[in-house]
Amino acid sequence: MNAVVLAVLLMLILSLCRINVVFALIISAIVGGLYSGIPMLETINVFKSGLGGGAPIALDYAMLGAFAVAISRSGITDLLANKIIALIGRKTDGSHTMVKAILFSIILLAAISSQNIVPVHIAFIPILIPALLGIFNQFNLDRRAIACTLTFGLTGTYMLLPYGFGQVFLIELLLKNLTNNGLEITASQIPFVMAIPVGGMLLGLLVALFITYRKPRKYISHEVDASQQTLDFNPRYIIAALVAMLAALVIQRYSNSIIAGSIVGLIIFAIGGVFKPSETQDIFTSGVKMMGTIGFIMISAAGFATVMKATGDIESLVSGFSSVIGDNKLLAALVMLVIGLLITMGIGSSFSTIPIIAAIYVPLCLSFGFSILGTAALVGTAAALGDAGSPASDSTLGPTSGLNVDGQHDHIWDTVVPTFLHYNIPLIIFGSAAAMIL
């Protein structure tokens, strides 16, 4: 068996068996290296030499986590939740269709903002969603539709917009790993490449909202303790939060650095009195707790990819794959996307999958004659596949954490299965189309 295939399969099996992903990556890299004939100590050294490639991304995540904690401390997320509840409360006597449209629009905008504008990731969900469950129940909204809306906002926009987490996925990870593996592509081309797969996700969202989960679904109303008490908001903190978020976005846009944007934002939070300079240790520690796991996975994934390259079996994998598939480019694209789906679902993070996918797929795609843009589309889509449908992904765990506070929303059947069906299937179809036409 090819060493790369053995390592990937072992990593996938260990991950699906709920072995910690970092452990799974280390064990699989060592097994793959040993199987290819590299001595144990040399395999470990190669793995360690590749860890540095994931360190900048891990630091980006830690800084975004600290920034998210500061935003939460300012009270602006609680204020937003209260304003939304008040707005919907005034509309409840009007058209049900209008209220539903407002609700889904607010949820979608909040999810999008959490990735690209106010990078708090899934931290907004436990604040906003439980507070709205009573209104959801009043209008008999199917929570599966809400889960699909949240997941689209959490995944679709980081695949398209190069801001916040989109900067990490598209520029720091996808672009960097494509160019490191010999693909000549620019940052401006990446969002264009990913627009077609994201269009497939948008179609899946529309199907979920207007067809699959359009009918009312009744839930038992319970009193939910979800920040519904009266809160005191400090106007100075709110102003500081708005200025910090705007400054961080501008700095990140023009410096192309998440770290620079986050540092400027944190300084503004400190000047505004949201936290004292002496509390920066707690802020950073809390940010690492929020995002640290993903950072360690990405560091380990970079080491895994380095070992896979050192085995020399990527070239034999390419030639073997080509001999099995023949010259059928469409079949090759479909097979690569399905494999990407399995890998991402095993790891649970599309961000952590890119170093592994890119190292294998770039030479594979070029051997089949895919264009540069088509290759980028396949790698980006293969990495993102499964993020929406993985039981271990933040994009599914986040929505469930908010929708299941009253015990009426099942993680697998009400979040994972709906998002898998409505997003991963369109991603495979539209990702294959993008690879063929670009």
pLDDT in tens, the chain (438 residues): 778 788 878 877 886 676 777 888 889 889 989 998 899 999 999 888 888 766 776 777 777 778 877 877 787 767 776 777 676 666 555 567 777 888 899 899 988 888 877 766 776 776 678 778 888 888 888 999 999 999 999 888 888 888 878 888 898 889 989 998 888 898 889 999 999 999 999 999 999 999 999 988 888 876 544 444 445 678 888 888 888 888 887 887 777 777 888 888 889 988 888 888 888 888 888 777 766 666 777 788 778 878 877 887 766 766 676 677 777 888 888 888 887 777 776 565 677 778 878 888 888 888 888 999 999 999 999 888 877 777 667 787 778 878 888 888 887 789 888 998 999 999 999 999 999 998
For residues 336 and 323, give the distance between their C-alpha atoms in angstroms, rounded to a whole number.
15
For residues 91 and 99, give the distance between their C-alpha atoms in angstroms, rounded to a whole number.
6
Asked if 213 and 178 touch (Cβ cutoff 8 Å), the reply is: no
State both tokens at 114: 């959490």
State both tokens at 351: 């961000």
Question: How large is the angle between the packed helices 189-207 and 143-155, nearest 10 degrees?
Answer: 180
DSSP-derived 3-state class of residue 49 = helix
Q: How many structural domains does the chain have?
A: 1
For residues 329 and 432, give the distance between their C-alpha atoms in angstroms, rounded to a whole number.
9
Rg (CA), the chain: 22
Q: What is the 3-state secondary structure (H, E, C) of 260-306?
A: HHHHHHHHHHHHCCCCCHHHHHHHHHHHHHHHHHHHHHHHHHHHHHH
- The dihedral over CA atoms of 402, 407, 413, 418, expressed in degrees to the nearest 10, equals -30
Q: Domain containing 50: what range? A: 3-437
Sequence length of the chain is: 438
Asked if 49 and 306 touch (Cβ cutoff 8 Å), the reply is: yes
DSSP-derived 3-state class of residue 411 = helix
Q: What is the pLDDT of residue 93?
A: 56
